[in-house]
Structure 1
Amino acid sequence: MRIGISVLSRAGQSIWQNGLGQNVVFLAQLFQRLPFVQSVVLIDVGSEGALPPEVDTVSGGLRVVNQQEATDLVDVVFEAAGNLDSKWLDLMRRRGCKVVFYCCGQPYVGLVEPATFDRPVYASRPDRCDEVWLFHKDRALIPMMRTLHRCPVHEVPFIWHPEFVGTRIAQARAHGVEYGYRAGDGEGGFRVAIFEPNISVVKCCSVPMLVCDEAWREQPGSVSVMHVLNTLHMKDHATMLYLANSLDLVREHHARFHGRHDIVGFLGQHADAVVAHQWQNEQNYAYLDALYGDYPLVHNSPWLGEAGYYYPGFDAQLGAHQLLRAYREHDAQLDAYRRRSQTVFDAVNPFAQHNLDAYAQRLLALAGTQAA
C-alpha cells in the first residue's frame, strides 16, 4: 500500500502555528511502521514545496511531492492539512485509489462559522471521498458528517508524541530557557498563561479569564499575573474591552495581553500554570504539551478528566477552585501528577501497538482486504 497525505506549505511557516501539521507527521510515521505500507509521501498543495525544518529534524526526511507527482505514487490519499483538487481526486478514484477525508478540525464550526462570520473558506465538493475519519472529540457529529459526505464515517485514535515539544525544549535550552515546572515556581502567586487561539468559539479566552479573576477574588495574590495570548486582533473590540475591564485582575494591573507565542518559549520564560477552555473540542495538542512540562493545567476537557485539574463545562467558579487547588497542592502532588499525565501519553502514542493495530485495521478495511 502506498499512501499520500496532504499538507499545506507557506512562506515563514512554523510547525507551532497549529497542531495539524504535527498530527500529519505523526500519522505518516505511524503508517511507515505498518508492515503492509510500502511508502508514505506528503502531497503539498501550498507554495513552498517543503515543510518547516522541524519536520525534517523529527521525521527523518519524509518525501514531499506535489499533486501531479503524487498521481503515480499513491494508492490511498488522505486529505488532511491541505485541500486537494476535487477533479484530481475524481481521477484518482477512477484509477482505483481510495480517498479519506482525515478530519482533525471541529467539523460543525468548520461548516457554520465561515458563513456566520463572513470568513473566506475553501469549500471542497462533499462527495469527493470514500470515507471520513475523525477523532473521539467529534464522535457526536458522525451522523452529520455521514449525511454531508455520503460515505462511511469512522472514529480513529487521537495521536500525539513529544517529538516536537522535545526538539523545541532543546532549542530553548540552548538559549538559556528551561521548560518545565519546578517545585516552588508558583511561590508568590501563579503566573498564568491562556493560550486559546481566539479565532473560533470552540477555543476562546473568555472563560479562562473569568477563572483567573474568580481565583484572584477568592484568594488575592494567588494569581500574580494573567497572560492572555493571541488577543491583539481583539484588543479594540467593544465586547473584549467590556469583559477585560470588568475584571479585578485588569483593574489592578495584573493582566497582560499578547500576540502569538509558542508554548515552550512562553511558559519557559513567563508562566507557571495554564488555564484552558474548549467547547466540543476536548482533544488538544496544547494541553499535552503543557502536561509534558508538568505545568498545572486547569481545563474542562472530559477526555483528560484524570489528568491536570478538571472543571466541567463553563463553570468558571469551579475552574477557579481547581486553579486554587493547584496553587496550594501542585508542588506536593507533582509525582502523582506526572504519573497521571504519562497514562495519557501512553494512550495517544502513535507508535504504541494498540494505535498501530487500530489504524492498520481501518486501512485494511478501507482497501477491502478484510471486513470493516
Structure 2
Amino acid sequence: MRKYKVGITFNLEPKITDIWSNGANQNIIHLFTLFEHSNLVEDVVLVSWGPEKRTTPPEGFMLDNLGLKFAYIDDVIDELDVLIEGTLTIEPHQKERMHAHNGKVVCYKIGNDFIMDMEYFIFEKPAGRTFNGVTFDAIWMIPQHENTCRSYFSIMYCCESRVVPAIWSPLFCDKVIKRLKEQHNLEFGYRPERREKGKRIASFEPNINVVKTSFIPILIVEQAYRTEPEKIKHYYACNTYDKKDNPTFFNFIGRTQIVKDNVMTVEDRYQMPDFLTRYVDVVLSHQWENGLNYAYNDALYGGYPFIHNSKLLPKGIGYYYDQFDAFEGAKVLLEVIEHHDRNHADYVKRANEYLDSLLPDNPVNIYHYEKELKRLFE
C-alpha cells in the first residue's frame, strides 16, 4: 500500500497571534491530527514561509506540547506527495515545483470565499485570498460551503470540488478549561441547578461579514423580552463593541427595549469557553450559509442550551428555529428557558454523540479523507 507525505500550509506570522481569533487555524491543527491517525499517511508536516521565516508557533497559538511538526516550505517541498493549502496561499512556482516530481496540490476550503469575495468587491474592502493563477488538483471543502461555493471553486481553480467531513475536537477548549480551573477555580459547563428565573444569554457571531451577524439574535432576544421579560436576565452581544458607534447598528439597538432597560450590553471578543464559564446560561446563534461553526461545538461541549438555525446539524442537536424567523426564535428561546433543565441529561448525551462524530481520529472521518487522498493519484 502506497503511503503519502503530506504538507499543510500554516501561517506562523499573522497579525493576530491568538488561536481563537480564526477558526481556520484550529481547523488546520485538526486536519494535521487526522492525518497523523491515518495508515495511508507516512508523514505530515505544517509548512510555512514569510518575512521572518518562522518555523515555531507564537505563544498565543497554544500549540505547545502537541507533537506538531513544522518546516520551512523550501526545506520539504521536494519530498512531499501532497501539498494542501491551509492558511497560507500556495503560489504558482510552488505548484510547479510539486508537479515537477508528480506531487499533487490541494486547496482545503474552510471559509465561504464566494460571499466574502462579493463583499470585498461591492464594498471596496481589502481583498482576501485572491486568485493568483494557481490551479489545483482538487478542492476539498467542508459541507457548509457546498451550496454557495462549489461552482465558484471548481470553475476558477479548474478542478473538481469535493466535500469532506467537518472535523473538530475539544483540544483548544480543554486548554482554556484547564487554565480556568487552575488559575481561577472556575468550572466550565452549564449547570441546570441554577434557580434564577431569568437566564443570561449570549451570542458570539463575529460580525465580520454577512454570514454570521448578531442582528437576528438581537431580534430574538428583543421579542422574547417583550413577551416574558422576567425570563431574560441579561443578553451579551459579543463581538459588537467595535460596532457600537456604527450609525446603522446604533439606531437599530437603540430602538430596542432590551437596550433601554439595560438588559443588553455590547461586548468585545473573548475566548468562548472563558466567557461561557463566567457569564452564560444560553447560547443564541444565527448564520447564513455557514451552518457548521466551531462556536456551536464549544457551546455543545459545555452542555449549554444552544439555539440555532443550522440545517446541517442533526435533528435533536441544540434547539432549532427556522432560518431568519426571529418570532419562532423567540418562542424557542422562551421554551428553552422554561423546559431545558428537566431534559438536560438527554440533551448532553445527544450533543456528545454528535461531537464524537466530528473527532479527527473518528474512523469514518479518516476514511473519507483517505479516499480523497487516493483519488488524487488515480
| Structure 1 residue 12, shift from structure 2 partner | 5.6
Partner of 2:246: 237
Partner of 1:8: 11
**% identical aligned pairs:** 31
Task: Report if aligned partners of 1:156, 1:359 keep a CA contact under 8 Å in 2.
Answer: yes
| Structure 1 residue 132, shift from structure 2 partner | 0.4
1:113 aligns with 2:119: yes
Partner of 2:230, secondary structure, is coil
| Structure 1 residue 63, shift from structure 2 partner | 1.4
Partner of 1:152: 160
Structure 2 CA distance for partners of 1:172 and 1:348, relative to 1, 3 Å: same
Q: Determine the C-alpha separation between the residues in 1 that align with 2:329 and 2:133.
A: 39
More displaced, 275-284 or 226-235? 226-235
Task: Report if aligned partners of 1:211, 1:319 keep a CA contact under 8 Å in 2.
Answer: yes
Q: Determine the C-alpha separation between the residues in 1 that align with 2:65 and 2:319.
A: 30
Partner of 2:277, secondary structure, is helix
Q: For residues 167-205 of structure 1, give each alpha carbon's deviation from its aligned partner in whole angstroms, at most 9, with x where no partner exists.
A: 211111112222100013362311111100000000000
Superposition TM-score, scaled by structure 2 size: 0.93
Partner of 2:337: 327
* Amino acid paired to 1:159: I
Segments of structure 1 that go 5 or more residues without pairing to the other structure are none
Task: Report if aligned partners of 1:90, 1:128 keep a CA contact under 8 Å in 2.
Answer: no
* Amino acid paired to 1:295: Y
Where does 1:163-312 land on structure 2 (aligned, <5 Å)?
163-174=171-182, 175-185=184-194, 187-304=196-313, 305-312=315-322
Partner of 1:59: 66
Partner of 2:24: 20
* Amino acid paired to 1:139: E
Q: Determine the C-alpha separation between the residues in 1 that align with 2:287 and 2:88.
A: 24
* Amino acid paired to 1:163: L
More displaced, 133-142 or 95-104? 133-142
What is the count of residue pairs matched by the alignment?
367
* Amino acid paired to 1:246: R
* Amino acid paired to 2:138: E
More displaced, 3-12 or 235-244? 3-12
Q: Determine the C-alpha separation between the residues in 2 that align with 1:70 and 1:171.
A: 36
| Structure 1 residue 330, shift from structure 2 partner | 1.3
Partner of 1:320, secondary structure, is helix
Q: Determine the C-alpha separation between the residues in 2 that align with 1:84 and 1:149.
A: 12
Where does 1:15-54 land on structure 2 (aligned, <5 Å)?
15-46=19-50, 47=52, 48-53=54-59
Segments of structure 2 that go 5 or more residues without pairing to the other structure are none
More displaced, 347-356 or 271-280? 347-356
Q: Determine the C-alpha separation between the residues in 2 that align with 1:260 and 1:137.
A: 24
| Structure 1 residue 51, shift from structure 2 partner | 2.3
| Structure 1 residue 52, shift from structure 2 partner | 4.5
Structure 2 CA distance for partners of 1:186 and 1:360, relative to 1, 3 Å: farther
Q: For residues 80-137 of structure 1, give each alpha carbon's deviation from its aligned partner in whole angstroms, at most 9, with x where no partner exists.
A: 1121222222222233110000000012113212112222224132543111010111
Partner of 1:72: 78
Structure 2 CA distance for partners of 1:101 and 1:163, relative to 1, 3 Å: same
Task: Report if aligned partners of 1:86, 1:124 keep a CA contact under 8 Å in 2.
Answer: no
Q: Which of 159, 162, 165 lines up with 2:170 in the alignment?
A: 162
CA RMSD of aligned residues (A): 1.6
Q: Which of 345, 348, 362 lines up with 1:352 in the alignment?
A: 362
Task: Report if aligned partners of 2:285, 2:307 keep a CA contact under 8 Å in 1.
Answer: yes
Q: Determine the C-alpha separation between the residues in 1 that align with 2:118 and 2:194.
A: 42
Partner of 2:107, secondary structure, is strand
Q: Which of 135, 138, 142 lines up with 2:145 in the alignment?
A: 138
More displaced, 5-14 or 131-140? 5-14
Q: Which of 100, 111, 130 lines up with 2:106 in the alignment?
A: 100
* Amino acid paired to 2:178: A
* Amino acid paired to 1:66: Y
Q: Determine the C-alpha separation between the residues in 2 that align with 1:119 and 1:7.
A: 24
Q: Determine the C-alpha separation between the residues in 2 that align with 1:107 and 1:211.
A: 28
Q: Determine the C-alpha separation between the residues in 2 that align with 1:100 and 1:186.
A: 52
Partner of 2:245, secondary structure, is coil
Q: Determine the C-alpha separation between the residues in 1 that align with 2:209 and 2:72.
A: 30
1:362 aligns with 2:372: yes
Superposition TM-score, scaled by structure 1 size: 0.94
Q: Determine the C-alpha separation between the residues in 2 that align with 1:265 and 1:157.
A: 28
Deviating beyond 4 angstroms after TM superposition, the runs of 4 or more aligned structure 1 residues are 52-55
